[in-house]
């Protein structure tokens, strides 16, 4: 199996060109190659395939987490898919700009810029509109206590007496945004200790991505991530989008922010965020960040 190791600000995956090869049992393969001691080392496996018949797209993305579960979407991953399709000339639409990529959350549009060698360097992704209805995130609100802030409920850490205000947003996958006074080493220790319990809270029928966030100012946030199925990661693109939305909903940050993740910064903009206008649908979130190829290799069959 020929593969490419790629990363979006530290959110690294093993990518496989499935235009001309097939991966048998991808869920199991994700567990094997993701192992950082005995495998390639990654947050999961992403297959880059031809789009389904009749779908207007250059390629299709299918992702698997480190535990073998299939993910719905990865914002950092899709930027790297765009780079891989263009730089390695996969399919007959590799030069489309914007490029359309089919995902489990629908077809997304990506615009990209080049480095001095004509390779894709930076990608802006239209991540679509956030889903704000708790039942569709999905969250079982009966297991939680409402607060006076939109999308926000009291969330307890199972097995402890700790409780947080958590703001819930779906970007095609579910996110809980928890604001803290400061993102620090101690905050990271707490997230590592409580992440699995929070991910699998009884209120989350499809588990949950957890984000601890410090609102530094109106245009800046610091974020730590716990990704369902993977644990702590250096970056989470859909999570950063959820942080942008949650910041507007709770009036902590503006609709255009820079999110500083452990792996580096992402720029987010919630366009036409008409959350305060009754009957107006929310606009899309645009995420901009780098995509980097690390190395190529061949995994023995």
Catalytic residue among 74, 82, 105, 244: 74
β-pairing verdict for 256-261 and 264-270: antiparallel
User: Does residue 244 have an active-site annotation?
Assistant: no
User: Does residue 236 have an active-site annotation?
Assistant: yes
CA distance 109 to 97: 9
Catalytic residue among 82, 105, 236, 241: 236
Q: Hey, CA dihedral for 60, 65, 71, 76, is it positive or negative? A: negative
CA distance 241 to 246: 9
Active site residues: 74, 236
């Amino acid at each position: 199996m020929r593969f490419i190791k790629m990363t979006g600000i530290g959110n690294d995956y093993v990518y496989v060109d499935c235009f001309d090869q097939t991966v048998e049992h991808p869920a199991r393969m994700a567990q094997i190659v993701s192992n950082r001691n005995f495998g390639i080392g990654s947050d999961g496996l992403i297959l880059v395939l031809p789009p389904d018949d009749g779908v207007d797209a250059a390629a299709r993305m299918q992702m698997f987490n480190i535990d073998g579960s299939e993910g719905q979407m990865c914002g950092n991953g899709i930027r790297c898919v765009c780079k891989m399709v263009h730089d390695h000339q996969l399919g007959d639409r590799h030069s489309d700009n914007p490029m359309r990529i089919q995902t489990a959350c629908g077809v997304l549009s990506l615009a990209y810029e080049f480095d001095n060698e004509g390779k894709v360097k930076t990608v802006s992704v239209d991540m679509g509109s956030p889903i704000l209805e708790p039942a569709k995130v999905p969250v079982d609100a009966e297991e939680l206590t409402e607060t006076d802030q939109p999308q926000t409920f009291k969330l307890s850490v199972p097995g402890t007496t700790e409780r947080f205000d958590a703001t819930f947003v779906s970007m095609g996958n579910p996110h809980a945004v928890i604001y803290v006074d400061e993102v620090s080493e101690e905050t990271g220790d707490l997230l590592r200790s409580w992440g699995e319990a929070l991910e699998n809270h009884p209120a989350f029928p499809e588990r949950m991505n957890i984000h601890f966030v410090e609102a530094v100012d109106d245009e800046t946030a610091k974020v730590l991530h716990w990704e369902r199925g993977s644990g702590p990661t250096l970056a989470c693109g859909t999570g950063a989008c959820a942080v942008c939305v949650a910041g507007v909903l709770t009036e902590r940050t503006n609709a255009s922010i820079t999110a500083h993740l452990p792996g580096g910064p992402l720029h987010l903009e919630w366009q036409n965020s008409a959350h305060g206008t009754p009957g107006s649908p929310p606009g899309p979130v645009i995420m901009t960040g780098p995509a980097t190829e690390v190395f190529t290799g061949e995994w023995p069959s």
